[in-house]
Amino acid sequence: MIERAHQNVRLKDSRDRVTSLESEVSKLKQSVLDLTKERNDFKRQCSEAVTRFEMINNECGHLYSKIKELDDILAKKGQTEEIIHVLNSKIKDTQFYNPREGLGFQNHENLKKIECPQSYDIKYMNLGSTKLMKFTYGSETIKEEEDKSKNRARAEVSFDYTALNDSYATREISLSDDYVICSSPEKQNVSDKESTSTSK
């Protein structure tokens, strides 16, 4: 009886152990499924990233080839791209194409290189012309400009307003004869009578 009781206890323990192992196995299976799903998602993201990278790389290669083509059109060895325009077949469609001048004529479509690039820089735009000159020109040029502005002669006319005001009191104004005749009261009455008689 005692031996049978020991066997029952051992059987119960082994059943409990099997049950715990089965639960652990089910948990491991679930974790494997989750990891497999994550792996598939990661593979899909990697494939999308590779495809996108290839597209961007192809686009960059196309842009670089376009830039090289434009550089070959606008610039030639030993020539500046600001004033020299190398002709090709595409330029014939433009209005500035002149077949008589051939290669190397001045291109009207390109602007000349500006002397002070800081004029178009956002850091220097709100400084004003005086402060901007300090960044664009040397100290000697600034000093010469300041000396010129200081030594520039200003036209100052001195006028005696007191003598002008005093002259109004003693000045004799020459009046015309017509004004003198009309201003005299006696002559004015005579002229009125003559005008009335003629009107009758």
pLDDT in tens, 104-149: 445 545 445 556 655 556 565 555 555 555 554 556 666 777 777 6
pLDDT of residue 49: 92
DSSP codes joined into one string, 75-96: --TT--TTTB----GGGGGSTT
In the predicted model, what is the mean pLDDT of the chain? 68
Least confident of 49-53, 162-166, 170-174: 170-174
Least confident of 5-14, 53-62, 82-91, 168-177: 82-91
Q: 56 with 19, same domain?
A: yes
Element (H, E) at 134: helix 128-136
Please work out, in degrees rounded to the nearest 5, the angle formed at the alpha carbon of residue 155 by the alpha carbons of 150 and 157. Answer: 140
Of the pLDDT bands very low, low, confident and very high (cuts 50, 70, 90), residue 91 is: very low
Contacts of 38 (CB under 8 A, 6+ apart): none
Q: Is 93 among the domain residues? A: yes
Cβ proximity of 79 and 104 under 8 Å: yes
Q: Is 191 among the domain residues? A: no
- Using CA atoms, how far apart are residues 97 and 85, in angstroms rounded to an integer? 10
Q: How far is CA 128 from CA 106, 124, 141, 174, in A?
A: 34, 8, 17, 58
Please work out, in degrees rounded to the nearest 5, the angle formed at the alpha carbon of residue 40 by the alpha carbons of 39 and 42. Answer: 65
Q: Taken in order 54, 58, 63, 68, is the CA torsion positive or negative? A: positive
Q: Is 119 among the domain residues? A: yes
pTM given for the model: 0.28
Which has more pLDDT, 80 or 42?
Answer: 42
Cβ proximity of 74 and 85 under 8 Å: yes
Q: 21 with 79, same domain?
A: no
Q: 59 with 6, same domain?
A: yes
Q: Tokens 């800081």 — which residue?
A: 118
Q: Is 6 among the domain residues? A: yes
pLDDT of residue 76: 57
Q: 103 with 140, same domain?
A: no
Tens of pLDDT, residue by residue over 6-52, are: 777 788 888 888 888 888 999 999 999 999 999 999 999 999 999 99
pLDDT of residue 32: 92
Radius of gyration of the chain (CA): 52
Residue span of the structural domain in which 42 resides: 1-63
Q: Is 7 among the domain residues? A: yes
Domain count, the chain: 3
